[in-house]
Structure 1
Amino acid sequence: MDSRIYIRYLNGPLLWMGIVVGLAVVAAVVPTMIDSTWAAILFGALVIIATVACLLMRVKIVVNDGEVAVSVFGVFTKRIPLREITGVSIGPETGLKEGAGPRIVDGAPAYIVSGPTVRIEWGRSSLIASAKNPEEVVADIKARLH
């Protein structure tokens, strides 16, 4: 079988809250950058870049015949060998309460951006990851387990 890539971007109320906060940050930072020192300009630019990065946050699940790799921000990545997976199921729905990014949800590490999730179990560990179509991800992983 080939590799399949599943991507879910930040969405819903978390995205809209991020947009509002992002606009507020830009409105507050840009005026301080005008006629400022290079350090103030650099700080303002870094704040704006960090805000944009958060708004573009995504969870990426890559499923192939050897492993399932889950990443958030393209920085935090967990690779789970397919042979070690003992279960996969639809996970809990996440939202404002859980936030976005690397988190702990239902006692398990989670890479989330709000919305439906999948739960991948191996040994005594599990990982929860956001998925646009969790049923499709679960079916893909289960098909590769047999």
Structure 2
Amino acid sequence: MKRGESVRPELRTGMPAKYQGLLAAVGFVAVMVLSLAGQVWLGPVMALVFVSALRMSARIRFEDAGLSVRVAGLFSTTIAYREITTVATGPSTGLREGMGLRILPGGGTGYLVGGPTIRIQTAGAWLLVSCADPAGAVAYIRTKLPEPT
């Protein structure tokens, strides 16, 4: 990708289907157990919780001066391009790493829904962000970083 070339202004990444299937099954079992245990009123509450989790997504919005990251519609941060020291494709994450806003081993912060990620390093912190197109996102972000002097 050439410097200044346009990319979609926003990348949304949903939870991978294999994790959706697993969480849907767990949610179904939980609702059934609650119903059989006589806690029928908790069934719809539990179903709402699981449906919300299944619809969770991570979003990276590319703006003029930086990018904003949001997960689960609740947790967000903004990073100026000038603050980014390195950006690279990250590891694929799953249920073991968790989903939503996560504090990761080694002191990083995760904005995760499972699947491929990008790793963004700044002078004082690092982030791991779920991204359906990590190679494209990394290439675009690199075009926005300041030229080395």
Q: Point out the structure with the larger helix share.
A: 1
Equivalent residues, number: 139
The 5 A counterparts of 1:51-62 are 51-62=50-61
2:33 aligned with 1:28: yes
CA distance in structure 2 between the aligned counterparts of 1:46 and 1:66, rounded to whole angstroms: 41
User: For residue 3 of structure 2, what is the aligned residue in structure 1?
Assistant: none
User: For residue 64 of structure 2, what is the aligned residue in structure 1?
Assistant: 65
Instruction: Please identify, of 97-106 and 78-87, the stretch whose mean Cα deviation from structure 2 is larger.
Output: 97-106
Shift of 1:99: 2.4
- SS of residue matched to 2:115: coil
Taking a change above 3 Å as real, the CA distance of residues 44 and 96 of structure 1, as seen in their structure-2 partners, is closer
Identity of aligned residues (%): 32
Contact preservation (8 Å) 2:14, 2:57: yes
CA distance in structure 2 between the aligned counterparts of 1:18 and 1:92, rounded to whole angstroms: 22
> Deviations for 1:81-128, whole angstroms, at most 9, x for unmatched residues?
222111111111112321222223452111111111001111121100
- SS of residue matched to 2:111: strand
Which ranges in structure 2 are unaligned for 5 or more consecutive residues? 1-5
User: For residue 134 of structure 1, what is the aligned residue in structure 2?
Assistant: 134
User: For residue 37 of structure 1, what is the aligned residue in structure 2?
Assistant: none
Using the size of structure 1 for normalisation, the TM-score is 0.83
2:22 aligned with 1:17: yes
CA RMSD of aligned residues (A): 2.1
